[in-house]
Structure 1
């Protein structure tokens, strides 16, 4: 399975890096491919290292203005002209999406992916990996959106909130039909 992971390129502390390493190991040992923003810094590097060290493939989609941060030993690296093209390429090259901890860029990617899914422009499973309760507030906001009629489909059909990597990968494998 090609798993797109949206996440931060920031240097983060162990409460975020340890679970990210564990999830990356699961992806690699499962024989899956990481499709990610291509950066070789911060949490993006942690996950790419973990996947590659455990036998998984790396498909990066970087963007020209971040080319100097792109991982040189990825199995494949695509250079997009801008962020919009990058998001489109990441979605096109993946079978499933995981949104890990991140800042405004990750939130932008998450909301666009969910908006496209809401309108039926893709049917790929989407997981918000809620490491250390990072997305508790967002989960509450989504629940309010559903409760007050802002979502045209049930929240459970839009996104799955996983508390750990094991739960995230199990959900994705079931959703795409991997035994």
Structure 2
């Protein structure tokens, strides 16, 4: 059976606003309802744990990827399949290679690192996977403004902004992913 996988980058904390946790749970449920596998950081903490718990509660498949040094810190989440990597670089590679699309919920430095790496790879033509910023309560507005500033100052082509699909909620994100993944599937047939 052909199953799509969506890599979700997000915080290992829940953040300041309750809506972040609500949207993480919603995203997990919706991914499961679509029949898509969630690829995530494997931890049972923060938004990461919430999105995975919600997906698993709805019968969704999950693939958690965690580096050895974080196993004791973040505790492995749930019954889904897990991959333990040697380091963070390998973790990011395994997560990305096992995904058809990327969705970024609110998060901190790690989420920014993951986002910029996949954005850079797309800019270099190394992949064409959809990259969504789930901009809950305007969380990613400063990041989008920074990307626009980078373009305006001549350090990136205007096409950079087109590699990012900002959405306001988990539901909008799944709708955008459904459209992008169906276009990709048609193009490959």
* Alignment TM-score, normalising by the size of structure 1: 0.93
Deviation string for 1:43-77 (max 9, x for gaps)? 11110011111121110100101112343533210
Q: Which residue number corresponds to residue 27 of structure 1?
A: 31
Cα distance in 1 between the residues matched to 2:60 and 2:132: 20
Cα distance in 2 between the residues matched to 1:89 and 1:74: 19
Task: Provide the residue aligned with 2:13 in structure 1.
Answer: 10
1:60 to 59, 64, 70: 64
Question: Are 2:123 and 1:118 aligned?
Answer: yes
Instruction: Provide the residue aligned with 1:39 in structure 2.
Output: 43
Structure 1 SS opposite 2:133: strand
Greater displacement, 149-158 / 19-28? 149-158
Secondary structure of the structure 1 residue equivalent to 2:42: coil
- Tell whether 2:86 aligns with 1:94: no
Work out the CA distance in 2 between the residues paired with 1:33 and 1:70. Answer: 20
Following superposition, which runs of at least 4 residues in structure 1 exceed 3 angstroms of deviation?
A: none
Give unmatched runs, 5+ long, in structure 2: none
How has the CA–CA distance of structure 1 residues 91 and 153 changed in structure 2, closer, same or farther, with 3 Å as cutoff? Answer: farther
Question: 2 CA distance for matches of 1:57 and 1:164?
Answer: 22
Question: Structure 1: any 5+ residue segments left out of the alignment?
Answer: none
1:63-78 equivalent positions in 2, closer than 5 A: 63-68=67-72, 69-78=74-83
